[in-house]
Structure 1
Amino acid sequence: MSEAQQAQAELVEEFSFFDNWMDRYQYIIDMGKALPVYPEELKGPHTKIDGCQSNVWIHPEVKGEGSEQRLHFQATSDAAIVAGLIAVVMRIYNDRTPQEIVATQPTFLAELGLDKHLSPTRSNGLHAMLKRIYGVAELHAKA
């Protein structure tokens, strides 16, 4: 099992401790509050994610070389629940190899119930974030 798959499994296990969706939403919001501070200078059209109701910025960086190459993402949102969704995504995909990211399907969406409990606009935004992360990973996996 890859690190990203393990992170997904751990996240699903954590969420299984909550009895209802209000508690899960609060946990997601709390995760978002723990995101590292996003540098203001990285907020621009090149890092903004289209397709999100809220403002979302994701800045990718390549760290390391060759087989040691990892993708590091910095991300933020101006909406609490979206920042929490970013934290969920970062926990799974941040600091992974491009190949690992490409090979890791986002099974957490169904396993956590996010596919059924997010509003359509939040769901579209989450998919737009994943599309950006996978796009960056695919670009570097081929390099």
Structure 2
Amino acid sequence: MLPPIETIVENFEFIEDDYMRLEYLIELGRALPPMPEALRTDENRVRGCESQVWIDTKLDIDPSGPKMSLQGFSDSVIVCGFVALMLSLYNGLAPGKAAETDGLELFRQLQFGSHVTSKRSNGVREMVNRIRRDAARLAA
């Protein structure tokens, strides 16, 4: 199970060593709940990522209102960590709030921009764009 995004951010703030930050990112990816093979469809595939990435977006209705429910997976352990970050950020948000939330800001806040390839950065951007588009669609 993934920790709340606030806990993840706090943990990254305490880790100064780049190697340890990468290890923590990989650990987060390993904590992703398994994504069923049936959801690894072409429709759920995120285009523009160097690795294969799938994100399934659903809407859960609870007494407090509709909430985003996401599942994700990548064939790369590092990218699974980025998927975990985005799922921790967006899961449980109301669709309207999710559509307005900039996951790239989290990516910058955690200072990954200078430590990953431009292809990986573009992949994270595509994940964020995909989730925000799905959120806007679900909010409508």
Does the alignment reach a TM-score above 0.5?
A: yes
Counterparts of 1:122 and 1:105, CA distance in 2: 17
Given the alignment, which residue of 24, 46, 60 partners 2:21? 24
Q: Return the structure number with greater relative CO, CA threshold 8 A, min gap 6.
A: 1
Give the helix-richer structure, 1 or 2: 1
Structure 1 residue 133 and structure 2 residue 131: aligned? yes
Separation of aligned partners in 1, 2:100 and 2:49: 25
Task: State the match for 1:50 in structure 2.
Answer: 47
Shift of 1:104: 2.1
Alignment of 1:1-143 (within 5 A): 9-64=6-61, 68-106=65-103, 107-141=105-139, 143=140
Distance 1:9 1:74 in 2: 19
Q: Provide the aligned C-alpha RMSD in A.
A: 1.7
Q: Which consecutive residues of structure 2, in runs of 5 or more, have no partner in the other structure?
A: none
Distance in 2, Cα, partners of 1:8 & 1:39: 23
Cα deviation for residue 115 of structure 1 reads: 1.9
3-state SS of paired residue (1:117): coil
**Separation in 2, partners of 1:44, 1:121:** 22
Q: Is the 8 A contact 1:102 1:138 kept in 2?
A: yes
Number of residue pairs aligned between Structure 1 and Structure 2: 136
* Structure 1 residue 85 displacement after superposition: 0.5
Q: Distance in 2 between matches of 1:115 and 1:133?
A: 20
Query: What stretches of structure 1 of length at least 5 have no aligned partner?
Result: 1-6
- How far apart, CA to CA, are the structure 1 residues paired with 2:63 and 2:128? 24
Task: Answer whether contact 1:8 1:108 (CA < 8 A) is retained.
Answer: no
